[in-house]
Structure 1
């Protein structure tokens, strides 16, 4: 069964109403961050007070399957050794001198519960963000444990709660929840379904992605993580190929593309080749290595007539910029889903 993209659906109120649930969830991302921060404010203040009575931990272990986001934020910044440990256990060396942090937005993951229980048994300092009364919360009960209550079931909102705590105890960068929420709100306004194609960047990006194989790249650690999440969203929305990777992974794909022939008839029968499109997630990182890699990718794309799309953000903090890029790409993926129809 053939699938094609109908861009008129992106401005069709009846069609958009069918997808209102998904779009509404994206629009409420900022509200979820604010709610999570408010719910955990008291527990966070208490955790900070307790931390002031203890020595700085020897190391920080981010445990559980959601630890990779914390790694992307903390690895370049944390003043003590930091390790992300997504397995349902802890490193053999982790003990009473170390801090174990766990993100468990749903609170039902058995791997996270196992890691928390082991941390408590070893006498580690433990900070867990999860719903109160959940499986993970039950396993977190201990003398040196703190539960930061989170009822949003949202990974980003839960991560912001933990990152705010780590910032206040001088173990992480500033991740002000209000700034993250404001950045998400700005994206939601710009990409609202009520804004038509001419002024909606997410709808325009969805059109660009519809007949291409996206190659998604972000230069900084957090932008690269956003790129992987956006590529995953595109694959889920469309069932199409979408790759995210470092410059050395994407360059061979760009260089192997057939140069565009200006005399090709895009409507000719049998001309169904899906060409790559380079999607750059630019969070403003101006590291020389990032600039050099971006230049190589863009030059390779230009040499073969490959389209380049760039998503930018001017949010004030690293986490806010990550959130902005991720939500922008996720909106585009959702509009891609809406525009695809089957014959």
Structure 2
């Protein structure tokens, strides 16, 4: 049985005050991006254009998703301890270790140690005076992190990689402003009529979400949102491609409006959540339209998040933050 969702809790000052820490953390996302970007003004000095780029640590796949379309050299997101056997002095190893568990973890310490031993150029995002920082050589490019926010650290690293000629333009202030705009629109002080995050929570109130992103970065945001929804509600949340979601929708049964929930039991319903990257290609736009049509035909509710304008990372942050706010409001509504 689902927990009963009480939408009145989302506008109750006392209830919202009890969740001030969660909501304040989301509201400070822009400030954390600005904090992590303080060292971006220091020029990046690569000894040469690397043969390849290997990215390890938190948000490594986000870095890969942003760089892959434009990076002039091969790159991989490496999920294991150490490095691939072919990595050597001609390569750049990027390690993101901004979270407390990450910068003390044996895996990333071993990765930095191995990169240093092989003579690779290292870019390290981590706080000072930590085990992983101590393992880096003096010639490593340091991105000093302060907030333990992996997304904020990733934005700072992307800005440095752009300076090195390896990625697209990433303006840290623009990314921070994108987070600020979502925080303003999703503020607990805004009611349902003008709060997209509270509206999303209501859309998720009685259903298991199927999440789809309309671009590579929107798909990554959808996976992050699925994790947040599972943590907030304990429900199933599937982030998948068009084919998998179409398969689920094809088996959706129409709701019986005459069913008695006390005698017939409560049937789990689905809700389709589309993370719409408005600047995605035509094929993605067609896929989104097909999903909407299939959901309508199956009697499945559709909720949409819009990425708006800006760079790829701005749009990613906009989608992610809207979803994270929605997940917190879902948790608040289910606690009654």
Distance 2:263 2:187 in 1: 37
Tell me: CA distance 1:311–1:266, structure 2 relative to 1, closer, same or farther (3 Å).
farther
Tell me: CA distance 1:158–1:286, structure 2 relative to 1, closer, same or farther (3 Å).
closer
- Which residue of the partner structure matches residue 19 of structure 1? 19
2:94 pairs with 1:98: no
2:205 pairs with 1:210: yes
Secondary structure, in 3 states, of the residue corresponding to 1:3? coil
Unaligned runs of 5+ in 2: none
Deviation at 1:2, TM superposition (A): 6.7
Q: 104-113 vs 212-221, which deviates more? A: 104-113
- Which residue of the partner structure matches residue 238 of structure 1? 233
Deviation at 1:253, TM superposition (A): 0.6
- Which residue of the partner structure matches residue 179 of structure 1? 174
Distance 1:82 1:152 in 2: 27
Tell me: CA distance 1:315–1:285, structure 2 relative to 1, closer, same or farther (3 Å).
closer
Q: What TM-score, normalized by structure 2, do the two folds share?
A: 0.95
Q: Give yes or no for contact 1:183–1:315 (8 Å, CA) kept in 2.
A: no
Distance 2:258 2:269 in 1: 13
Secondary structure, in 3 states, of the residue corresponding to 2:335? strand
- Which residue of the partner structure matches residue 40 of structure 2? 41
Tell me: CA distance 1:321–1:288, structure 2 relative to 1, closer, same or farther (3 Å).
same
Q: 104-113 vs 302-311, which deviates more? A: 104-113
2:327 pairs with 1:341: no
Aligned with residue 78 of structure 1, among 71, 76, 95: 71
- Which residue of the partner structure matches residue 305 of structure 1? 299
Deviation at 1:118, TM superposition (A): 0.4
1:45-96 residue CA offsets vs partner (Å, 9 max, x unmatched):
2xx1x22xx2211111102353112112112221110111011111110000
Q: Give yes or no for contact 2:278–2:308 (8 Å, CA) kept in 1.
A: yes
Q: Which runs of 4+ in 1 moved over 6 A?
A: none
Secondary structure, in 3 states, of the residue corresponding to 2:167? coil
Aligned with residue 197 of structure 1, among 185, 188, 192: 192
Q: What TM-score, normalized by structure 1, do the two folds share?
A: 0.93
- Which residue of the partner structure matches residue 139 of structure 1? 135
Equivalences, count: 333
Distance 2:303 2:84 in 1: 41
Distance 1:315 1:288 in 2: 17
- Which residue of the partner structure matches residue 165 of structure 2? 170
Deviation at 1:231, TM superposition (A): 0.6
Secondary structure, in 3 states, of the residue corresponding to 1:210? coil
1:103-136 residue CA offsets vs partner (Å, 9 max, x unmatched):
1112223211110110000000000010011111
Distance 2:258 2:321 in 1: 36
Aligned with residue 314 of structure 1, among 290, 293, 308: 308
Deviation at 1:288, TM superposition (A): 2.4
> RMSD across aligned C-alpha pairs, in angstroms?
1.6
Distance 1:36 1:143 in 2: 21
Distance 2:194 2:84 in 1: 50
2:22 pairs with 1:29: no
Deviation at 1:275, TM superposition (A): 1.0
Aligned with residue 220 of structure 1, among 206, 215, 232: 215
Distance 1:245 1:296 in 2: 15
Unaligned runs of 5+ in 1: none
Q: 322-331 vs 295-304, which deviates more? A: 295-304
Distance 2:112 2:233 in 1: 37
- Which residue of the partner structure matches residue 326 of structure 2? 332
Deviation at 1:265, TM superposition (A): 4.7
- Which residue of the partner structure matches residue 56 of structure 1? 49
Secondary structure, in 3 states, of the residue corresponding to 1:83? strand
